[in-house]
Structure 1
């Protein structure tokens, strides 16, 4: 609750209108529509000034919680800022000799799979290669060149088809440094010859994620510019680069914490080199290069890290180039934003004292009307966010089912928020958050059913288009992240002892069963809890181990806390954690609001570019209209969209929750099948037909490059299922 209640601008307008005998806001000067009439419900409510007093409410659930102490910036491990390279020494081949192709070689046929060649322990480029491929759903194998010999059997199947459609080198010479300053390749000369022979015969492209622009093991037609080495620069796509990095806007992409070798073109007989990315001085940071034997190669002279912006932005274009735009899986990006605790009231931070106000905060009807306009402004201002829609994750125990549905006369309602929500029901995505936000870690089946099914019933009474298969439990409770001493006698209280991640095996089976009985199939989990997401697949959800009817959709918490309503409260809470003197001091000073948005949009951009469909979640307090047309929730979304749109034109998907759950479950089944080798495909490049096969019954499948399907960015993807085998016509790029 705001500390100094004043008469709201809306109430004042209504009072003056009544005294003057004029119609209330939203009506014309003629005959007034009847409350609840078609004309009433089809009239768009007008935006109002920020409230200075909240509507009265009784018996509304009060949500008290705890602050998530999260990373304040993207996690940067194994930074390549000191990843200096040099001219490679290639050991003479002693382990095997370059071999002739087998007599049955089918050089027009390759599996839709990529080979990643690693230099072994300490290879920081390996994580970047894996991340790029996973973000596009491309199956891959990793060969540790320091431990395994690369022979023809690693590259060609017994039937003569190629095992791989593309090859990624984590560095162009797979360098190791057995002696400081001495750079030795993990592959010997005969292994390089075997690899190059395969690439030439099967017309397989090669991507070197980082390399010293020299002559070993082969010449790309680039030479390092002496003295230009740097760990801070930027890269801008050339005209040819725009054809590879089709989604980039052309704005210079910053390169930080990554060592780079700006290069110049060098004329080499039989080699054609085309710059793709250049630094501010026009020197080359990435180029394609055609070898004398016809092999197509791409070399980047800047080091990579899976969490760095330039690596994440390049990944989409690099994978499409490597695979010629034909591969299993697809690259898709999302912007899903949930607002938890809707209809409930919540703790409210006093920025001046650091304590909570005595009276909790609940959004008003005017706040929600403003959110409608904010949402439309975001859609209209950012081409990438045309589909954007807030998800309102609601606690129906805080609504009043007797409040009328009205767009013009909500100010007469016994609960204005309920009435305006019924008016605007089709503008948002509605998700079950249980009736009263009770803790479900230890709860009997009957109570859990009342909380879950009862909230669906309230949504039905209100006429809300509620997702029928989705559930977000209060505090993500019931999934094993809990106070181990909780006995279930205080489920309606705001705080418990410290939570511990006891694993999904400690989930509440009563909650799971009650959810399934109510028709729920997808439950939100907390990505900040280790057991509630899958580290082996960064874009996958989690099948619940205790109940086959439940699939978990991880959500990202953010550093905009559950009890803040305006910028002053946002920064007061944030700085109490991350500023000097905070519980996790990270920055060298207390951040102002713009600095906070800059840091948090970095995290949001990191998540979006990671390719996962996981929602971010905020809280109803964050929807307060603190200034005309502004809320801290929409400020955060705007900051993320501004940063993303600066660099990429690839549209951001926003799905309703049931659709999101179905998508993520199908995606996870497909990714697990590809990883297990039970789903695969062979591309006949002579006929441009891909034969997709399942060895584990009916499996979902996505194929990028298909002639039919949905266009996303510059590439078309077909989505379906396969049981046995199916053939699909493709068009390579």
Structure 2
């Protein structure tokens, strides 16, 4: 079912009425005010306003932050909020975000200026986290306390309005029984108030519903009243963030947000070495001393390919297979020319996307000394690092590409992931890129290079290539069975006193030790899968297009990756409507998205972007060579061409990078109804609200390096 988002900005005719100006078509167009596409965010340093700021920043939506805790902050008065440009009245902000319904002292001239501004220009206000009280359109709280684990619901008004991209449920996280993570005030609308709840939860011990998010219309103003506290990482905020932004902007704003998920499967055609539960290392790999243990390879079978194909069809999702051709060549040499896995994968090659992972998965950074653990870089007589040669890197890239082409794999020849992301810097052993890497990338026309987000999170240039950071999933490359995964997990995440490695003790800033080792029979499904699902789904809901990566071993034997992938995909489908699908991009398209965002953010942060709306026309001015991004109502045109693509009831996308001025024409809309109802101006400051200690924190974790 198609859902639309209620228009929250007045049409030209209605706004002329507010300003006392004639509303005839010609005169309205000439005298319509200019409304700049920028949000005013007033912060008290709390997590709620910080969360909304992060949402705007990630989407690329310009905002001006006024920090109430700073003595040198600007005063919020009429001159700060509006002025005149070329004889036309200008509203400098299209929306106002406050930490609560009135964060100022009693009788504040700043609150009076904001109220007058909102009335004059029909500017909506978001109360990021406020106490339930009549001044906010609500009765005093029927309940004030923890809502950890509560399953809230979007109301019918919310689904037909700003939260129509959700299926209905808004589950609140409960990650720790010992930490209060969320706190809320639940209340019904005040008698006589024109208040519409958008998200509600049941008051404990009763059947009464209390509002968590709702719209209050009064005094010619509109407020989105939020009565629960949150931070930017919590799932409940991530689910509602899009609707908060679309409500305050009326679905007309710079920037865009979508939910992305891509999964790379590394080492396809090759075999991965297996974790040894007795030695606590991986024979055949560098974490075991030379000669320790006996390698035990994990490699997919044709049945695993059949399962992957069926799984993709069921979930309408495409995996990216990151392949090493030598794995198949070696298999055929050892088995009289037979490689049933390769035969099945090649037969089904068009069911997947494919990425070059080098021919033999060789390490392409420094020459490694693996006689010690951890390994070190070899050095020459003069003490300089010995590097893998340019010709070796060339051969690894080109030979694998040729093998893939001979097998008919549908390749993008400018994409590459090196084995272990090698060639790129790896701290602490290799503090710089292999100087031979960039020339070899140029030799082979590589434009997009995979990197490890846990080591190299920022997109950067390596010669002609732009990096695409990938999230390592905590499903280990050297585990084909759940018992192996749990055993290694225990080794990494328990203290020395409990039989672990103590890595978690040595790195408290990035890792948290388990209170006790996990049971090898139940720990995977009961602990690792839910935690990894939550982490990965958190990336999905954060407008983050970076891909995740696992290994072919995780699709073999116990197929341990699928419970996590199912958790992300099935969990997502249960939360979002059909018009808000997961976006599943290949690597070069992810790289392009990230590169465009970086250029746009640089321009926005430098004050080089100006955007405003006059009537049904939106004008965006940005530096030449910078693509602009916007979210606008369906039916918007850019010049004579339809703009963007549909997502969550609106359209969004990028403009061409050429030119400096882009002019959008919005579809005409019926005039919005004027606010009405009880008049309860917030003349007194909002009461102090409670923020649990845990709500300002993100649950720490360490990804698989």
Q: What's the TM-score, normalizing by structure 1?
A: 0.72
3-state SS of the aligned residue for 1:288?
strand
CA distance in 2 between partners of 1:252 and 1:325 (Å): 21
1:635 Cα deviation after fit = 2.1
Alpha-carbon distance, 1:231 to partner = 4.6
- Deviation at residue 557 of structure 1 after TM alignment: 0.9
The correspondence for 1:711, drawn from 614, 639, 646, is: 646
2:569 to 636, 641, 651: 641
Q: 1:130 to 1:525 in 2, by over 3 A?
A: farther
Shift, 1:622, TM fit: 0.6
Residues 1:467 and 2:416 are matched in the alignment:
no
One of 561, 582, 600 as aligned partner of 2:532: 600
Partner in structure 1 of residue 197 of structure 2: 275
Matches within 5 A, 1:22-171: 108-119=33-44, 122-147=45-70, 148=73, 149-156=75-82, 159=85, 160-171=89-100
Instruction: Kindly report which structure 2 residues correspond to 1:324-473, keeping only aligned pairs within 5 A, or say none.
Output: 324-350=250-276, 354=280, 356=282, 358-377=295-314, 379=315, 386=316, 388-400=317-329, 414-441=338-365, 442-473=387-418
Judge conservation of contact 2:143–2:186 (CA < 8 Å) in 1: no
Shift of 1:657: 2.2
- Unaligned residue ranges in structure 1 (runs of 5+): 1-99, 175-184, 380-385, 405-410, 487-501, 535-541
Name the CA shift for 1:479/1:436 in 2 (closer, same or farther; >3 Å). same
Tell me if 1:304 matches 2:230: yes
How far 1:187 sits from its partner (Å)?
Answer: 9.3
In the alignment, the residues of structure 2 paired with residue 278 and residue 662 of structure 1 have an alpha-carbon distance, to the nearest angstrom, of 39
Q: Give SS of 2:329's match.
A: coil
Maintained 8 Å contact 1:403/1:418: no
Q: Which residue of 2 aligns with 1:652?
A: 582
Tell me, what secondary structure is at the counterpart of 1:593?
Answer: helix
Does the alignment pair 1:248 with 2:180? no
Cα contact 2:612–2:620 (8 A) shared by 1? yes
Instruction: State the secondary structure of the residue aligned to 1:241.
Output: helix
Aligned to 1:223: 139
Indicate if the aligned counterparts of 1:396 and 1:459 stay in contact, CA closer than 8 A. Answer: yes
1:622 matched to 2:554? yes
477 and 170 in structure 1: CA distance in 2 versus 1, 3 angstrom threshold: farther
Match of 2:664 in 1: 728
Partner residue in 1 for 2:109: 190
* 1:567 paired residue number: 482
Partner SS, residue 481 of structure 1: coil
> Unaligned stretches of 5+ in structure 2?
1-18, 21-29, 175-180, 204-208, 283-293, 366-386, 505-512, 636-641, 673-705
Tell me if structure 1 keeps the 8 A contact 2:622–2:628. no
Contact 2:83 2:90 in 1 (8 A): yes
Tell me the CA shift for residue 608 of structure 1: 0.7
User: Residue 195 of structure 2: SS of its match in structure 1?
Assistant: strand
Contact 1:209 1:304 in 2 (8 A): no
Alpha-carbon separation, structure 1, partners of 2:277 and 2:320? 27
Instruction: Return the alpha-carbon distance in structure 1 between the equivalents of residues 106 and 276 of structure 2.
Output: 63
- CA deviations 1:528-576 (Å, max 9, x no partner) are 12xx224xxxxxxx232x63x3222111111111101122222222233
User: Contact between 2:460 and 2:467, CA under 8 Å: does it hold in 1?
Assistant: yes
For the residues of structure 2 that align with 1:728 and 1:207, how far apart are their CA atoms?
Answer: 26
Q: TM-score, normalised by structure 2?
A: 0.75
CA distance in 2, matches of 1:610, 1:392: 25
Give the match for residue 481 of structure 1.
426
Structure 2 partner of 1:238: 155
Contact 1:706 1:718 in 2 (8 A): no
1:485-510 Cα distance to aligned partner (Å, 9 max, x none)? x6xxxxxxxxxxxxxxx4xxx22232
Q: Secondary structure at the match of 2:436?
A: helix
Residues 143 and 332 of structure 1: is their aligned pair in 2 closer, same or farther, counting only changes over 3 Å? same
Residue 117 of structure 1: how far off its partner (Å): 0.7
Aligned 8 A contact 2:300 2:555 in 1: yes
Question: Matched residue of 2:256: which SS?
Answer: coil
Does the CA-based 8 Å contact 1:554-1:614 persist in structure 2?
yes
Aligned residues: 563
**Equivalent residues of 2:262, 2:547 under 8 A apart:** yes
Aligned to 1:205: 124
Please provide the CA RMSD for this pair. 2.8
CA distance in 2, matches of 1:111, 1:683: 6
